[in-house]
Amino acid sequence: MLEARSLRKRFKDVEAVRDIDITVAPGERVGLLGPNGAGKTTTLLMLLGAITPDHGEITIGGHALPRHRSRAMEVVGFAAGYLPLPDRLKVSEALGVFAGWYGVRDHRSAVRQALERFEITHLADRLCSELSSGQRTLVGIVKATLHDPALLVLDEPTASLDPDVALRVRSGLLTFCATSGAALLVTSHDMREVEMLTERVIFVARGEVVANDTPAAVAALYGHVDLEQVFLSLAAEHGRDER
């Protein structure tokens, strides 16, 4: 579904991504983890075509970036917890616009179904600017699933959500992936969320992949019982001088 080889990116004197390979198989759920400044967001933005890598190749659904970016994005749904939505539009209008850009012909029906999937149909007529941060995050995730993408890319999807809402989002995402067969690539600082959502994790530190296996195998590799402890030890080992 997604194949990225030898990605490298430097911003002036900072080597943000050194040499990263990422593959996500169809239907596979993968977590991209690492301390702040590890290169996760730069990697994600390269995978989405928003940043051009200095080196490396990216293919999504058989479409190579940057040449076939538009075709590649037809099969990708992206949401980030930190991104707002068009503030002068109602939720249903904003989602309808994104559905149109994703090529959905019957945008009203797609919006209704997507809102029902995450149980937020009551937000349809609210202005995006009036949403709470949690509601905005939910609508952002709905936006990413409007066109039944084959690959969901989520950057910190539940960062601003209350625990009960975050749980509902995780359950919704798992159901969506199970029923649609979509693959998932997600970044998060919530290791319990990662263990719940993903089958495989890729740990990144200082722009390099330092571990790539199932959550249990990665924990075992570092002699810990869970990913939380792995994260803390990797952050201490690789991230301290970057913050």
Partner 1 sequence: MSWHRIRTVIRRHAYVLWRAPHRWFDIAFWPLMDVILFGSLGTFIAQQSNESETAVPYLLAGIMLFHVLFQSQIAVATGFMEETWSRNLLNVLTTPVTEVEYVAGTAIFGLAKVLLALTTLSLTAFGFFRFDLGAVGWSLIPIALILTIVGWGVGIANIGIVLRFGQGAEILIWGSNFILMAFSGVFNPVEALPGVLQPIARVLPSTHAFSALRDVLAGQPLDGGSIAAGLAGALVFLVGGTAFSVAMLRTFRHRGYVTRFS
Binding positions for partner 1, rule: CB under 8 A: 9, 11, 41-42, 45, 48-52, 66, 70-71, 73-74, 76, 78, 80, 82-89, 93, 96-98, 100-103, 105, 127, 143, 153
If the CB atoms of residues 34 and 96 are measured against partner 1, the closer one turns out to be 96
If the CB atoms of residues 26 and 103 are measured against partner 1, the closer one turns out to be 103
CA 16, CA 10: separation in Å to the nearest integer? 5
Could you tell me the smallest distance in angstroms from the CB atom of residue 198 to partner 1?
Answer: 21
Residue 126 burial (C-beta neighbours within 10 Å; 0-12, 13-18, 19+): middle
If the CB atoms of residues 76 and 218 are measured against partner 1, the closer one turns out to be 76
Could you tell me the smallest distance in angstroms from the CB atom of residue 163 to partner 1?
Answer: 26
Could you tell me the smallest distance in angstroms from the CB atom of residue 52 to partner 1?
Answer: 4
Q: Which of 90, 78, 146 is nearest to 114 (CA)?
A: 146
Could you tell me the smallest distance in angstroms from the CB atom of residue 40 to partner 1?
Answer: 13
If the CB atoms of residues 72 and 230 are measured against partner 1, the closer one turns out to be 72
If the CB atoms of residues 101 and 220 are measured against partner 1, the closer one turns out to be 101
Could you tell me the smallest distance in angstroms from the CB atom of residue 97 to partner 1?
Answer: 5
Could you tell me the smallest distance in angstroms from the CB atom of residue 62 to partner 1?
Answer: 15
Residues 6+ apart with CB under 8 A from 177: 27, 29, 152, 183, 184
| Distance of alpha carbon 35 from the chain centroid | 16
If the CB atoms of residues 157 and 215 are measured against partner 1, the closer one turns out to be 157
E-assigned strand segments in 43-174: 55-60, 63-65, 76-80, 151-155
CA 48, CA 52: separation in Å to the nearest integer? 9
Q: Which of 189, 216, 215 is nearest to 41 (CA)?
A: 189
AA letter at 56: G
CA 75, CA 56: separation in Å to the nearest integer? 21
